[in-house]
Chains A and B, each alone.
Chain A
């Protein structure tokens, strides 16, 4: 029995969520849907842990879908790298699912909830499928499943412009997916196979030709859009800032990470490292994009007026570190990329949870209006601060560990100058993080004066709309006010702070006011912060895992890890 179960783990990883998703709608009950969603998340996490343990015991899972043998049928394959990424995204998914039960997204009505949960489960099923499959076309299929459900999820955002953001992401995402499809089509044309291992073998035997080069170019642009690599990142800040809080949490920890995994898998396994990095100058291209991203994105983040969007820009910057690791291309570099993939997932997800809690409680994401919020929402703000220190890479945090590994990998390859943009980038992150710290802790609490700058409603309308990137219809102040009071009944309570005198001494006023944070909100945040703290001080587990995963990708035969 256990044997059968163990053999079917790779397919179960994907199929459980796919099967359960429709039931969330069919059953029609919000509570049942909730239970279904969270239990699915638990099962999926358990499966990913079992896969990881299995891989650690030396097993390489290869599952023939429908019993059709590998080059013809679809093969699901789990090695160290796959298990590592599966573990990461299912861990994040579990915590995000719990967080999603909280009150951060009250605007999604009772009726819409089951659909929301269905889209959520389909999204994570698609992401898991992209990781687990060893079939190029199947990657595309799962990519579409996850993308389409992501558009639905983003459009659930409380701001009406979320629909526009989702639509924009749909256009850009569809372009990206088409590029990937073109690439896979070209590959099939040349080789007549879709199995990644088979493709890899045939390409290595035949050598490259113009069609394969075209396939690589199409692929890198398409997947670049999905990963939000620097010049192709345009969709990410909008999508993250308008999506419901819990969706931002889920996406920031899984979607781009899976796309990065697919990129790694294709570059090293399908096209072959020799072709991608030696024949084609992809290492230079990726590193150049990474340097630009890690230096420019923090500058944009520094000028951003919306808290969520600011951290979205910081994601663009942080993805650049992963891309740089991929660009370095050595085992150490890839291990650094994978380590940061995990580390960035846990800190950024924690940050977006904290941001979600703060936004839901104060009713605004506009940084200007968040002055002194730390007095009220201590736990969330400290979690945000801790995550922020991780983004900067202060020693003792996970961010430091991954930057250390990355810089060491660069120096090892003789590219020591890469250290300079990496360190300068972390300094640039310090600038925007500290801007938030100053606002949340030391600025006086927003008063009527601040709110009245041009009337509170238009101010907030702009706040929710970010820097007016998306053209949306202006609403009447009254409508926005009504909307806000609907969204956040708690806000009314919280708003008593508006009537406090500006210079009130907060150390002596009770700070327990405001809506208490619900357990489903603080528990995942606490778990993530604890993980970040632990892996920041003792990174032996994560770094060992990342090193094994990188070794399994670059050097498929087992290598001596003691070196």
Chain B
């Protein structure tokens, strides 16, 4: 057996070490920034190594069965252990976060410098901790480990949300913590306790651990998980996400478009595949009523409502926040449909949406920093002052709306196929309508910037490479994903559920 527990453990540990490094080198901003970016790159290198190890057997000198894929760190109580393992869903999530982390680091260094922020060290250190938690969630081998990192993630991002310490930020921080702690400490934890008591263990096992649980209890558990994982922002527990937009833009970008919210939907996806299993998920019923069909409408309604609300937002970050809520529920929907297509669609939508949305947030941050405007209605003609930014915005908007040649089209394609498989045409209609709304509220922004006449004088505004390069890079990856989505899909498709 070749242990790959050490690289997994390191992948989780390195962001935390990075945080320590950042704090230790706080006296010299240059060294600190180098530590930050280097730990991001080292982490990415490790993740790529893990991917290579885990690729299908044809690529490997040694068959996968020869790798010990579970690494137990320690046992808190009998049956309650902190352990990591490696499987395709987690690897995809970890790679997405790990790839975006160094890019975001560069961007946030530029952003904070532009704003002359006095608390940069605190910001960067907590940022590293949050990424470390995301890695822990990605590689969690059981519900306890996942919950451990989930809660640390909530707490460590609170100082980031309240970074500016203004009364509005503190109020938003209270909503943020209130919603996330309420849902997780009451609903999520209760669900975990019930799984531990009635199911066959807390470990993530293909096919699930709830095979001998009554359908009624399984339904209760599903609802507890669905609403208890508040980070997935399923309505009505979505309020924290728009509130969290008072945070600096890089926080909104990486945490509230990638790490935190994706940790939520990833947890739901993982629980539906490895705790419930498709069989018990599709056999939820109460006296002949197929409950799964009804539960599917919870994310479906969130998709539509959030899109409608996003249309009505003039503040660009608020619009993106509601767009995120809507897109997250695509993934939740994919997870709950309990079929192969839905799982694939949900999983690759994590990546597609991450790259698209982070680009949009980078662009929003660039617009706010360079032009000082944050209202969509004020952005007329801004495209000629900031061409790169708005081109990137355009590409990312295509990806989110699910139009070629950007990656988002594939995840929506798989999700649409999955709705057909469940036989619910209503859900297909929801996906279509929501895509139309996406086109309306996202693509209108670059169009407005390029084609409407400007209000004021025109000048080149994009004068900070550390902010412009990252956003072009992520937009480029969005296009690249269009071409490699097939590989991702077949990678996920290996999971036998």
Contact = CB atoms under 8 A, between A and B. Distances in A.
Interface of A: 389, 392-396, 401, 404-405, 407-408, 411-412, 416, 419-420, 423-424, 426-427, 430, 434, 438, 441-442, 505, 507-508, 536-540, 543
B82 A537 contact: yes
A505 B118 CA distance: 8
B151 interface: yes
A540 B185 contact: no
Interface residues of B, number: 33
A375 to B, nearest CB: 12
A506 to B, nearest CB: 9
Interface string B326-370: 000000000000000000000000000000000000000000000
Contact of B196 (A408, A426, A438, A505): A408
B149 to A, nearest CB: 9
B75 interface: yes
B227 to A, nearest CB: 14
Nearest to A543: B77
B108 to A, nearest CB: 17
A396 B197 contact: no
29 contacts: A389-B155, A393-B185, A395-B144, A395-B151, A396-B151, A396-B152, A401-B76, A404-B80, A405-B77, A407-B193, A411-B193, A416-B194, A420-B186, A423-B185, A423-B189, A424-B186, A426-B185, A430-B185, A438-B170, A441-B159, A507-B119, A507-B122, A536-B76, A537-B82, A538-B74, A538-B76, A539-B77, A540-B78, A543-B77
A392 B119 CA distance: 28
B4 interface: no
Given A408-B193, A507-B121, A508-B118, 4 more contacts: A394-B152, A405-B77, A442-B162, A442-B170
A335 to B, nearest CB: 11
Interface in B161-201: 162, 165, 170, 174, 177, 181-182, 185-186, 189-190, 193-194, 196-197
A16 to B, nearest CB: 35
Contacts of B78: 540, 543
Contacts of B121: 507
Contacts of A536: 76
Interface in B52-80: 74-78, 80
A538 B189 CA distance: 19
Contacts, number: 74
B151 A394 contact: yes
* Chain A to chain B: the 8 pairs with minimum beta-carbon distance, closest first: A395-B148, A411-B197, A423-B186, A427-B185, A505-B118, A407-B193, A538-B74, A394-B151
A427 B193 contact: no
A420 B82 contact: no
A539 B76 CA distance: 5
A405 B193 CA distance: 10
A423 B190 contact: yes
B186 A427 contact: yes
Contacts of B450: none
Nearest to B121: A507
B147 interface: yes
Contacts of A434: 174, 177
Contacts of B174: 434
Contacts of B197: 408, 411-412, 416
A560 B91 CA distance: 42
A517 B78 CA distance: 39
A442 B171 CA distance: 12
B75 A540 contact: yes
Contacts of A537: 74, 76, 82
B264 to A, nearest CB: 16
Nearest to A442: B165
Contacts of B118: 505, 507-508
B267 to A, nearest CB: 14
Nearest to B185: A427
Nearest to B186: A423
A407 B185 CA distance: 13
A420 B193 CA distance: 11
